[in-house]
A and B are shown apart, each in its own frame.
Chain A
Amino acid sequence: MMTWARTLRRVVGLGSASGAHAEVQRAAMVARRQAVERPPIDIAPNDPLLAFFAASRGAVSLDELELDSPAVRALRARGTKLVVPLISQGELIGLLDLGPRLSDQEYSREDRRLLDKLAGQAAPAVRVAQLVREQEVEVRARERLEQEMRVAQLIQQQFLPKRLPELRGWSLASYYRAAREVGGDFYDFIELPEGNIGLVVGDVTGHGVPAALVMATTRSILRSDAPRLVSPSAVLARANDLLHGDIPPNMFVTCLFAVLQPSSGRLRYANAGHDLPYVSSDGRVRELRATGMPLGLMPGMVYEEKDAQIAPGESLLLHSDGLAEAHDPQRNMFGFPRMREIVAKHSGGQTLIDELLKDLGTFTGSGWEQEDDITLVTLVRAPGVEDRVLDEFQLQSVSGNEREAMERVARSVSDLKLSARGLERLKTAVSEAAMNAIEHGNQQRAELPVRIEVSTANGDLIVRIIDHGGGREIPEATTPDLEAKLAGLQKPRGWGLFLIKNMVDDLRVTSDEKHHTVELIMRLDGGNNGAND
């Protein structure tokens, strides 16, 4: 019946027609002049008129029809006098709808015979035309859909992070794969005051352009409000109020917003109905729970805000439901318990992402068409180094003692497992700083000691070199002009501070009335310790 309904949507109607065979030529002219195609009328699949023509194959005068039929009433209302069924391969594909004859005479038996014959010959051609038109409509619809998917993809790609932020003491990895009909997944990193970083992962209901636009709007709201409000619950409450009323009633956004303080591992978070993040280490997994309604459903929502601590060595996984809700060919769901097991087994980072995707591939089998977007973001906090003093000693201000300083500092950091290159860099920096302290700070006065302190704090190795050169101006580390030195325009010396600055991650110089302190800082999680090694 659906086929009938679709076919009969287009009733072929000639506004006025001559009936008699003697008038065929004139009728054709009139038809060209006045009888343009009238708008089609819809005939419901259960209309008695269809049942009538299923049994009757010939032209029928509308006046003779006694049917309680909405279609008949509609035809009468537009002045139809005669209807002739168009039948192709036994299927009713339309009706010829004829108004009164120009002569105002009734349609004769001969007219009807001729019209039946005409309908019999026209029906296959009409059917072909109908099929061609249906195909064209389908092609256009498919093209529109594909175009829409391309636009949705473009919007989504535009708003996903182009690169991951560099967080000291953390390693980040992410994975995002859109389903064929792009969903509304998104994730983001937002720079916040005081070195904090906002972490966002969300999912908009629906697919295509509408979901992509709501995703872009949500992202913009979060980006503009997060730096001002910072508090995750306040940020989500504000986003909810702004989205409510602006997005279609059948859409909403699940979203987790967290504020990470990288230096301490403190994580404040609120959740608008999104999948719970996992924190894992050494086979243990915990979920970060906080209650809250999805964004955009109701105004004035309150979001619970929680505090968590990501310890050194722990890993945080933010994700969307595209992975957990994937199905195998038997329609079994991948599920959160399975996901949690994998999270427990792997230490996080890219390895965890790879393992999750490998397991998903095994679970779904080949030929799986991805059902929803998949988003995975992991943050792993580097294993910590305990804050402690490694060595403290003093040297006489005698030229050459800088090498002793260098060797002793190298021995004191042997437990830290610096890279070979990191250790060499540290040695050069210590030697140069100690030499400056001996020669410039203490003016090579043997009785003035150079004090050296080696310690770790907040994942940094810190070497302090203290001399008695307080109260004097400290020169800035500038880049020596090698061309001028080679041309004899400048002295060949003046490399010390420049070398130090290039060998460590940070160089801090402070001074009081008596002392002058150079702090050499080397990050133990990368930087000059790990780079290029």
Chain B
Amino acid sequence: MRNVYVLGTGMIKFGRYPDKTVPQLGGEAALLALKDAGISIKDVEMLASGNLQQSNGMIGERILQQIGQTGIPVINVANACATGSTAFREAYMSVAAGMCDIAMAIGVEQMGKAGLLGGMGGGDPAYVTEGKVGSGTMPAVFGQAGIEHMRKYGTKMEHFAKISVKSHKHATKNPFSQYRNEVSLEDVMNARMIAYPNTLYMCCPTGDGAAAAILVSEDKLKQLAGGRKRPKVAASVLTSDPWTDRDLTLPDVSTLTRRASKLAYEKAGIGPKDIALTELHDCFATAELVHYENLGLCGDGEAGKFIDEGGGKHPSLGGKAPVNVSGGLLSKGHPLGATGVANICEVVWHLTQDDRAKERLVPNAKAGQAHVIGLGSACTINILTI
């Protein structure tokens, strides 16, 4: 396999764009990435396009119908919340395998005010189990993942709430974030309860967004980078949920993350101590807490202590092992298919000291990771180094 580098990135501010179409949103991010890379759509040899909720709609081809119909191979990817990051991995593999030298990954989603996700099926509504035989909504599922941690380790609701305070604080420095308001611990604790222990501010919003990345081989990097240092994709890992006792009853988001994390660190040849920043899948505050341990940022059962000691906070706030300096899904937003590529953009921007992250740069960042969970379940981890 060949080395692969991220030559350019593009992202639109996450928010709500009811007057635009999904191909337009994706096309905008693609054009930004092409401009950043200093190339044209005519140079791109393959496109992996990630979109979840219109995954039967040939979004990748329709993006090219907006920005340049060059006849290249296009694959449309759907993998729940890991849709964008899986598209990134498809583009990575194309270049790594030598199938092409310049590939583009796009993640895009238009959710509007979608509200709750999960739990409802089709057919006769009398047989819908939601609310009658427990809950399969995302807030309830991820609430219970946090409760499991409370049960095992005595973690308190305040620990989860502190994560939301941190993410909102981080988001104030990110102009690409859907929400940029600070919240206090009291605000979070007293906000409307959605599914215990997650209150409103501990749940990510729904919204629209798009992000794109251009991946290139080493030869192309030398030709096109013009002396700019570009990050290497040191590991691009995808796992699905292995069999565990309760997985089919309560989705187990930890086992597949731990497996992906181990594989990613091994492939990259580094460990959690070498990671300058982590963008992880905080669809709910409870999820972020369990992933501190799953990604080895702290020991098992130590996530509460990690938070109390400033773990996950930006260094400028006196923190260590910064997590979600972009504001995370909680504040930056979570347009499903866009998330996995946007997380990679964030990591790239810190490694390259990009102006788009100038107010929140993690100093001396040489390695960063982007983690995504798609419930059902898929996990991706991309480690980038420079």
Asked if A and B are interacting partners, one says no
Binding site for B on A (CB under 8 A): none
Binding site for A on B (CB under 8 A): none
